[in-house]
C-alpha cells in the first residue's frame, strides 16, 4: 500500500491535501489520470499542478531519449543500407574484373597460338571474343562512373 495525496479543488483554489491509502497501481495511474482530466476540464495548465512539477523533468528526459533513440535507429538503418549497396557494387566490380581477366587471357592465348601455328581458327577465336571483352570493359566503365 502506498500513501497518496489527493488534492481537493474548490473553485480555482487548491485546499489542503487529503490522505488516502491506495494500492501502488491506483496511486500511480489514478492520480495522474484524475489530475490530468481535472486540469483539462477546469481549463488550468495541468503541468502547474504540484504532482506534475517533479514529473516535468522526467517527461522531458523521456522525450529527448525517444528522439535520440529514433535518430540512432535511423542512422543504423542508413549505414546498413549504404553498406549493402557498397557490398553489391564491389561484388559486381569483382565479377567484371574476373571476366575481363579471363577474356584477356583467351585473347592473348589465341594470338600466341595463331602466331605459332598459323591456323586461322585461332584468329577466328580472337575475333569472336574481342567484342565480348569490349562490352565488359564498357560495362565496367559505366558501372564505375555511376557510383
Split into its structural domains, the chain has a count of: 1
CB 30 within 8 A of CB 22: yes
C-alpha dihedral (59, 60, 65, 68), degrees to nearest 10 = 150
61 domain-assigned? no
| Euclidean distance between CA atoms 21 and 105, whole angstroms | 89
What is the model's pLDDT at position 5?
52
pLDDT in tens, the chain (147 residues): 455 555 555 554 444 444 444 444 455 555 565 655 555 555 566 566 666 667 777 888 899 999 999 999 999 999 999 999 899 999 999 999 999 999 999 999 999 999 999 899 999 999 999 999 999 999 999 988 876
132 domain-assigned? yes
126 domain-assigned? yes
Residue among 87, 96, 102 at smallest CA distance from 139: 96
62 domain-assigned? no
What is the model's pLDDT at position 144?
85
Domain that holds residue 104: 77-147
Amino acid at each position: 500500500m502506498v500513501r497518496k495525496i489527493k488534492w481537493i479543488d474548490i473553485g480555482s483554489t487548491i485546499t489542503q491535501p487529503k490522505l488516502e491509502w491506495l494500492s501502488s497501481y491506483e496511486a500511480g495511474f489514478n492520480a495522474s489520470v484524475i489530475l490530468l482530466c481535472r486540469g483539462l476540464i477546469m481549463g488550468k495548465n495541468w503541468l502547474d499542478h504540484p504532482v506534475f512539477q517533479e514529473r516535468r523533468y522526467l517527461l522531458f528526459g523521456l522525450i529527448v531519449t525517444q528522439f535520440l533513440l529514433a535518430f540512432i535507429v535511423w542512422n543504423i538503418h542508413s549505414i546498413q543500407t549504404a553498406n549493402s549497396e557498397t557490398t553489391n557494387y564491389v561484388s559486381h566490380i569483382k565479377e567484371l574484373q574476373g571476366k575481363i581477366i579471363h577474356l584477356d587471357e583467351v585473347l592473348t592465348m589465341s594470338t600466341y597460338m595463331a602466331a605459332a601455328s598459323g591456323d586461322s581458327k585461332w584468329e577466328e577465336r580472337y575475333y569472336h571474343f574481342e567484342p565480348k571483352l569490349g562490352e565488359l570493359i564498357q560495362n565496367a566503365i559505366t558501372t564505375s562512373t555511376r557510383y
